[in-house]
Structure 1
Amino acid sequence: MIFVTGGSGLIGSFLIPALVARGEKVRALYRQHIPQTLAALGVDWVQGDLLDPLLMRQTLAGVTHVFHCAGLVSYAPQDEDALLQINVEGTANVVDACLEQGGIRLCHVSSVAALGGAATPEGGSLVGPQVLDEAAKWDLGAAHSAYATSKYLGELEVWRGISEGLAAVIVNPSVVLGPADWTRSSTRLLRYAHQEHRFYTPGTINVVDVRDVVDHMLRLTLDLPVQNERYVLSAAALPLQEVLSQAARCFGKKPPTTAVPDWAAEVIWRAEHVRGMLTGSRPLITKDTARAGRQQLVYNAAKVQRATGLPFRSVADTIAWCCQELQRNVATSGAVVVS
């Protein structure tokens, strides 16, 4: 029996069908609604919350493998407490339940954000690209986003479990692209391209196909004896303008043409912060997202390719697939299907 958290998220919604196709018995956690696209797969669905330690212990009875995909991705200041609760306390509950059950093998989905990296200087851009891999050290003295901090602390909970005898692997995906609900998570990039926005930030984005993430997770967790290691999952680093332009062309839309200067990005996030405080709404752009767009980071995934022997799909193929599937969903349902 394999237990999956975050079954309704982007990675989980592709992982569960892949597990079922392998003939595995799957139990999955959901909070509100079972995804329609997964309802007929014979999955043992459990309604609940990662923050319920008793439920976690009960749910893991008879489980041999856990894929911990659940997590909150947010750069909004309002979500700082929720990030710590879900990404840190929730992971701690999963780790503790695995240890109590015994004999469980865990695959924890972290993020390249947990690798750290240089912070963007106040009001300026990093000079030159910085290459990071699994050996990157978290700089306790640097300024990190609340999201990155929560993913780093969540990883520490897994390493704690490993020190207590848990068999685990950690994967650190970059921006995961897939045809999901484009009002959520990384798929919003594709919606931005579809809406023909003019502006882009002149930075680099690292991306990976959700199918490649799932393939590597399955190989590392079910097929190989590796454990107590973490692996970067990233296909390529490209200018953000290029990714948005490829997506726009696939949709038959106009690509963005105007780069946002550093000074303008600084003004915009400050204005959005004030607007959010006055209205109680979520800012469209935060300090972290404005400055992340100017970072020049490249994530090296050579380690996982040596371990699994699996290639990564090209970014062009991934974007073409995403756009085709999203357009098909619109044509058949009148709206983008929420996975």
Structure 2
Amino acid sequence: MVLVTGGTGLVGSHLLLKLTRENIAVRALYRSADKLSQVKNIFSYYTDDSLSLFNQIEWIQGDILDIPSLENAIVNITQVYHCAAFISFDPSDFKKLERVNREGTANIVNICIAAGINKLCHVSTIGTIGRTLNGETATEETDWTRQNANPYAITKHLAEMEVWRGAQENLNMVIVNPGVILGPGFWDSGSGSFFKTASKGYNYYPPGGSGFISVTDVVTLMTTLMNSNIHSERYILVAENLSYKDILHKIALTMGKRPPTKPLKFWQLNIGRILDKLKTIFTGSNRTITKNTIYGLKHPSIFNNSKIKQVIKTDFESLDEQITFSSKLFIAEHS
């Protein structure tokens, strides 16, 4: 049986869909029952048999910070996909980020070692791949530093260190570092914000860019790695490097909206950062623009995906196809 943490998120829900379609016995952790409806909704995008597939999952209420619930969840498990994480780029959330992402991952590693599972797949982020400033592409071996890194990336790096510690204790593991994951259903977070932004027809686009990949490619590569003899490796999962201008242009066109044509200047972003900080002080809302955010926009990385392509002979899904598919669903849910 397979255990999935973070099963109610973008990657986790698509992973559960893939596993149930392949008739693999699967157990998934959830924290609150209201999140389960989102998984059913994701399933319905792809099949008319969504409820039957959903009912194949053995759901266990628990938390990666709650050891007893993990001990209950790990019984008779042979593989673990660790997709759970807390995502925030607000420096004031650092303590919570460290607790969930580092400590929670340490708990998963410890429980996997104690239970003697066959393999662990840890879902990290492209943010833990080191930056290059000389025009070279970033690889899995590029040195990483905390300097100018956002708090989410810092705590995910710490989480990776826990997984590598597990490897030293004879835990078979793989780490995946996806770029921006394109997929439907989570419109208020992650890549969903690109669809939400494009739908409003703004004139301005942010500078910089990133690596992008479809969610279906991510879960396919994860399961392929888990069912291989590969272990003690990490892999960049990026299908294509794109500027934010290009990705917003593609999404806007599929929505029948006018693409943005004006780049945001860095002085505008710095004014926005100050206003954003004042908004946080007076309203208690989370920060969305920080110095680290602007640094990342000013110094975008180009990511090299040759390592995963060498070990898994597969063609990446067209990002245009995923964008079209997701845009249609966004329109259907917001019309």
Does TM-score exceed 0.5, indicating one fold?
yes
**Whole-angstrom CA distance in 2 between matches of 1:129 and 1:295:** 10
| TM-score for both structures, normalised by structure 1 | 0.90
1:238 aligned residue: 242
1:93 aligned residue: 107
Deviation at residue 245 of structure 1 after TM alignment: 0.9
Q: Show CA shifts across 1:277-323 (max 9, x none).
A: 23212234233333322222111111111111111122222211211
1:323 aligned residue: 327
**Whole-angstrom CA distance in 1 between matches of 2:3 and 2:313:** 26
1:117 aligned residue: 131
Deviation at residue 264 of structure 1 after TM alignment: 1.6
**1:150 aligned to which of 142, 151, 155:** 155
**Whole-angstrom CA distance in 2 between matches of 1:17 and 1:69:** 14
Report the residue type matching 1:16 in the other structure.
L
Report the residue type matching 2:299 in the other structure.
Q
Contact 1:129 1:296 in 2 (8 A): no
| Percent identity over paired residues | 34
Deviation at residue 6 of structure 1 after TM alignment: 0.6
Question: Any stretches of 5+ residues in structure 1 without a counterpart?
Answer: 119-125, 332-339
**Whole-angstrom CA distance in 1 between matches of 2:229 and 2:118:** 13
1:311 aligns with 2:315: yes
2:81 aligned residue: 67
Count how many residue pairs are aligned between Structure 1 and Structure 2: 321
Q: Show CA shifts across 1:224-272 (max 9, x none).
A: 1100000100011111111101101100111112111112212211221
Contact 1:130 1:296 in 2 (8 A): no
1:254 aligned residue: 258
Report the residue type matching 2:206 in the other structure.
T
Aligned to 1:237, the other structure's residue is in SS state strand
Report the residue type matching 1:107 in the other structure.
C
Report the residue type matching 1:252 in the other structure.
G
2:289 aligned residue: 285
Deviates more, 1:302-311 or 1:63-72: 302-311
Deviation at residue 330 of structure 1 after TM alignment: 4.2
Report the residue type matching 1:15 in the other structure.
L
Report the residue type matching 2:174 in the other structure.
V
2:48 aligned residue: none
Deviates more, 1:280-289 or 1:205-214: 280-289
Contact 2:249 2:260 in 1 (8 A): yes
Identify if the C-alpha distance between structure 1 residues 84 and 21 changes in structure 2 by more than 3 Å, giving closer, same or farther: same
**1:108 aligned to which of 118, 122, 125:** 122
Question: Any stretches of 5+ residues in structure 2 without a counterpart?
Answer: 44-50
Q: Show CA shifts across 1:144-199 (max 9, x none).
A: 21111011000000000000010001000000010112012221111111111222
1:35 aligned residue: 36
**1:80 aligned to which of 88, 94, 102:** 94
1:134 aligns with 2:140: yes
2:9 aligned residue: 9
**Whole-angstrom CA distance in 1 between matches of 2:281 and 2:291:** 14
Aligned to 2:212, the other structure's residue is in SS state strand
Structure 1 residue runs of 4+, over 3 Å off? 328-331
1:167 aligned residue: 172
**Whole-angstrom CA distance in 1 between matches of 2:271 and 2:93:** 22
Contact 1:232 1:301 in 2 (8 A): yes
